[in-house]
Chains A and B, each alone.
Chain A
Amino acid sequence: MIEIIRHHGTLLLVGSWPNGPLGGIAVTLLLAALGMILSFPIAILIGLARIGEWRWSRYAATAWVYAFRGIPLVMIIFWAYFVLPRVTGVAVPAFATALSAIVVYESAFLGEIVRAGLQGLPPGQLEAARSIGLSYRLAMWHVMLPQALANMLPSLVNQFVSTIKATSIVYIIGVQEVTFAAQQINSFEPDKALQTFVVLACFYFTVCYLISALAQYLERRLRSRRQWRTPPTPTGQEAT
């Protein structure tokens, strides 16, 4: 295993960079981070539509969430691979194809996190904001969303871990991330498959375990802060 890391460690970390394209775990993290960042605005719209008053936007957001939670990511990648070149009229690089699929896929999961964050706030928050004269939109923007976002932070970090794990499948369309690198190493050294894939697993484990630990820390801190600030309410409101 040490040998695999010594000979191919940089391939797993950054691909053939700086002499070639960036790859390895760096691209995995880049893909997951961009996926989260780009899907977040969509997720906020979905979350707002899911709890909103307009019936049709609520139906549309619900359908979006259920559809993309129910289809495997591989199928969404196939769709992106097939649809994107036709819509844009040019050849779309593998990274952009994978990123688009991940943004659509993650927006459904993040949308549910946003919805839970908004619904987890005491209803008095919205009522108070409305009663001091804020419009629904301003009340959401200045009162509800900032509080909900603070409460969602642990879930968002956990979702980041899920996204990192989900990106491992995009090597099938040729994105040069860390699983792709491991497949390359496996083709150079076919008699060391177990070592190669265990090393790959260790890479993912280290990254995901550390980020999960961060999520747990944030959750503990959030819980202690919330206990200090608000006494338990008789209605039993709790953040999910």
Chain B
Amino acid sequence: MVFDWTFLTGAGVATKLFSGVVTTLQLFAAAWIGGLAVALVIVALRAISFAPLGWFMRLFVEYHRNVPTVVQIMVWYFGVPEILPAPVQLWVNRSQSEFVFAAVALSLNVSAYYSEDIRSGLRAIPHTQIEAARAIGLSAFAAMRYVSIPQALRIAVPPLLNRTLILFKDTSLAMVIGVADLTYQVKAIENLTFRSFEVFAVATFVYLTFSLAIMGAGAWFGKRFPPGFKS
């Protein structure tokens, strides 16, 4: 097999690759921010003790954990527009709505996992910690700021980063509805140039670089901020 990297300079190949990487990163960023925001809302809502709301939130979390991400993306892209009002459907058909639907699906998917990780971080701090902090004279805010949140973060951040890695890899699934991310562009370039090996190698390298950065962040955090205590 002869490796030929000159194809990279060929008609629009580098542009395609670059726009694929940008789309992947944009989708990742959108889903990450959206997912974190929804997760915080879920954590707050699950603290309210109102049974029907509790059931609904449990169903929300279980749906996103037990249905493949691909299927969740399909439900949003193929299914949901059917029940939207006509003007919105028109917009969906006209514009590049794949990105929006993929971002929504990935956000909701990751929010279910994020909310569970945050909740288990919060639950792991015994209430006596707050009581002890208040007893030595810290205000309620200072007790949170200096005692419970630092400890909860040490427990919650490693699983959150692990899920962030999965989210980054899951952005590749958006290609099934035609989002022109890195995976999609790789397929397009392969069809165009037949340089499968080279283009797969480039894409694999790009994915691996970002994944290793996220894994490295996790390893660094675990070393720098080990859990305060073991329950």
CB distance from A210 to the nearest CB of B (A): 9
B71 A168 Cβ-Cβ under 8 A: yes
CB contact under 8 A between A194 and B83, given known A201-B75, A236-B230:
yes
Residues in B neighbouring A201, C-beta threshold 8 A: 63, 67, 71-72, 75
Chief secondary structure at chain B's binding surface: helix
Q: Which of B67-89 contact A (CB under 8 A)?
A: 67-72, 74-75, 78-80, 82-83
- Interface flag for B187 (CB, 8 Å): yes
Contact of B66 among A71, A78, A161, A196 (CB under 8 A): A161
> Which of A7-15, A34-42, A62-70 forms part of the interface with chain B?
A62-70
A9 to chain B, nearest CB (A): 17
User: Which residues of chain B are near A194, meaning CB under 8 Å?
Assistant: 75, 78-80, 82-83
Q: Are B172 and A75 in contact (CB under 8 A)?
A: yes
Q: Which residues of A contact B65 (CB under 8 A)?
A: 208, 212
Tell whether, in the assembled complex, residue B204 and residue A75 are in contact, meaning their CB atoms are under 8 Å apart: yes
A and B contact pairs by CB, cutoff 8 A, 28 listed: A66-B212, A66-B215, A69-B165, A70-B207, A71-B207, A71-B211, A72-B170, A73-B169, A78-B183, A78-B196, A165-B66, A167-B68, A168-B68, A168-B70, A168-B71, A169-B173, A179-B74, A182-B71, A186-B78, A193-B79, A196-B78, A198-B75, A201-B72, A204-B67, A204-B68, A205-B63, A208-B65, A236-B230
Complex: A204 Cα to B71 Cα, angstroms: 9
B residues apposed to A, CB below 8 Å: 1, 62-63, 65-72, 74-75, 78-80, 82-83, 165, 169-173, 175-176, 183, 186-187, 190, 196-197, 200, 203-204, 207-208, 211-212, 215, 230
Given that A71-B169, A197-B74 are contacting pairs, would A209 and B62 also be in contact in the complex, using a CB cutoff of 8 Å? yes
Asked if A166 is at the interface of the complex by the 8 Å CB criterion, the answer is yes
A-side interface size class? 35 or more
List 8 extra interface pairs beyond A78-B186, A179-B70, A204-B71, CB under 8 A: A71-B207, A72-B169, A72-B183, A75-B172, A75-B204, A79-B200, A169-B176, A194-B80
Contact check, B78 vs A193: say whether CB atoms are below 8 A apart. Answer: yes
How near does chain B come to A18, taking the closest CB pair, in angstroms?
26
Instruction: Label chain A's interface by main secondary structure.
Output: helix
Of A69, A79, A197, the residue contacting B79 (CB under 8 A) is A197
Given A66-B212, A161-B66: A74 in contact with B71 (beta carbons within 8 A): no
Q: Which residues of A contact B1 (CB under 8 A)?
A: 86
Give the nearest-CB partner of A183 in chain B. Answer: B74
Assembled-state Cα–Cα distance A161/B68 (Å): 10
User: Contact at B68–A165, with CB atoms within 8 Å?
Assistant: yes
Closest residue on chain A to residue B208 by CB atoms = A70
Which of chain A's residues have a CB closer than 8 A to the CB of B207?
A: 70-72, 75
Complex alpha-carbon distance, A200 and B212, angstroms: 34
